[in-house]
Chain A
Amino acid sequence: MDFPLLVTEAVKDQADPNMIVVAITGMIIVFAALLILTLFLTALPKILDVFNEYFPPSEHGHSAAPVAKQAVLDEDLVAAMAIALIHHRSD
């Protein structure tokens, strides 16, 4: 039996299945799936609260691309660039 008994019985007569039973059972299955999903999602924050106590979210997750470290500029280089900029503007 690979499907709920009611549906299997409903389609027993392959040429003239009981479509009302198929429709009602189908609707119940759809509702059941989404109801379970609703219940799970309602409970999920509480489940994760408990989970987070033991496994706190990592600050170094994969979600963000690593930010490139800002290059540390040599002080002499900064001074040279500043002088060049001043000369450029005075020209």
Chain B
Amino acid sequence: MDTMIEFLGTTGFAHMQWGNALMIAIGIIFIALAIVKDYEPLLLLPIGFGAIVGNIPTAVDMSLSVYDEGTVLNYLYWGVQQGVYPPLIFLGIGAMTDFSAMLSNPKLILLGAAAQIGIFLTLIGAYYLGFTPKEAGAIAIIGGADGPTAIFLSSRLAPELLGAIAIAAYSYMALVPVIQPPIMKLLTSREERLIRMAPPRVVSQRERIVFPVVAFLICALIAPGSLVLVGMLFFGNLLKESGVTERLANTARTSMIDIVTILLGFCVGASTQAKTFLRPDSIKIFALGALSFAVATAGGVLFAKFMNLFLKDKINPLLGAAGVSAVPDSARVVQMVGQKEDPQNYLLMHAMTPNVAGVIGSAVAAGVLWAVLTKTV
């Protein structure tokens, strides 16, 4: 009988606290959103299950969590802590991204730059809300709407906030179809939403091969801190476009990115233990993340309207919303909002330019923040 009682004392039920139960419920909600609503299922499902795994309470002398040295989960989490997984995801993204739309209409790249204002305004906001400079930088990058970049930067600058930042970043990426449309409609007139874009020109293979090499040199030489992320992004793209490494490109954009996505999502979820995640700071991070995301969307749309003051062939300002780098979700939202006004208006291909420019822009922004804020206390 004593053995039975002793055993019952080691079960998860005996150590369950309200925080663990809440996090398990959040994990289940993530899984439900992924399955029922199809919100970023490739990310929310692993994160959701990871959150459940990470919040099963264990006896004090049982080391099982991602934070306990030498455990299996800790070894898997090493890739998150050391920022190994995000560059590998960027390699896969590069190998699956077609930059032809960007090459055919380069001026739309500037929309991807404008949307990064969300990052830098949030940086100021987070700092004046009491976060340290490093923490403010890690939180600000949520505005880039790029999960791997957010994880990479927070693992470098503020590892203690990694779980909250990653969950916030991926949550807002999943909620792109909910957050962006009201802002897009608020800032544009019906006439602007009806603007049609000229069809993109045909891009030669030589252009597509030269692009990743030169784009990498430009970005890395201006912001060397972005070297790892943009390096892997453009390396992946070169594998795709060179035409001689199709096997490698295929592996990068299929098996490899899938494996890393599973590990990254699961580990991030497992790192959201109630005792480290349920803190007042997490609520601030979520609020700042939402603000950052909204400002980024507004920044892109308003900059498109600003560009229209000088352009003969007007840009549909909805494209500015795709400057946040949630690829391809925000581009899809642009298409959806545009087609509500004019079902024959196809903006998706055009929206991919600011969208992938946003990926490059947020990687450069992360590089800048890393290089600058790493010197601060």
Task: Please list the residues of chain A having a beta carbon within 8 angstroms of any beta carbon in chain B.
Answer: 3, 7, 10-11, 14-15, 17, 19-20, 22-27, 29-42, 44-45, 48, 51-52, 57, 61-64
Contact = CB atoms under 8 A, between A and B. Distances in A.
Dominant secondary structure of chain B at its interface with chain A: helix
Contacts of A27: 116-117, 120
B167 interface: no
A24 B120 contact: yes
Q: Which of B110, B205, B206, B223 has the most CB of A within 10 A?
A: B206
Nearest to A40: B214
B365 A26 contact: yes
Contacts of A36: 218, 222
Given A11-B375, A35-B110, A37-B215, A30 B116 contact: yes
A35 B222 CA distance: 12
Interface string B205-244: 1110011001100110011000000000000000000111
B298 interface: no
B376 interface: yes
Q: Which of A20, A24, A27, A42 has the most CB of B within 10 A?
A: A27
Contact of A41 (B109, B206, B243): B109
13 contacts: A11-B375, A19-B128, A26-B365, A35-B113, A37-B106, A37-B109, A40-B214, A44-B210, A57-B206, A61-B243, A62-B243, A63-B205, A63-B244
Contacts of A40: 214-215, 218
A30 B368 contact: yes
Given A14-B377, A34-B109, 15 more contacts: A25-B372, A26-B372, A27-B117, A29-B364, A33-B364, A34-B361, A34-B364, A36-B222, A37-B219, A39-B106, A42-B107, A45-B204, A48-B210, A57-B206, A63-B205
B149 to A, nearest CB: 13
Contact of A48 (B121, B206, B243, B244): B206
Identify the 7 closest CB pairs spanning chains A and B, nearest first.
Answer: A63-B243, A41-B106, A23-B120, A34-B113, A62-B244, A19-B127, A33-B222
B248 interface: no
B263 interface: no
B372 A11 contact: yes
A14 B107 contact: no
Nearest to B111: A34
Interface string B103-144: 100110110111011011101100110000100100000000
A7 B222 contact: no
A38 B361 CA distance: 12
B173 interface: no
B369 interface: yes
Contacts of B124: 19-20, 23
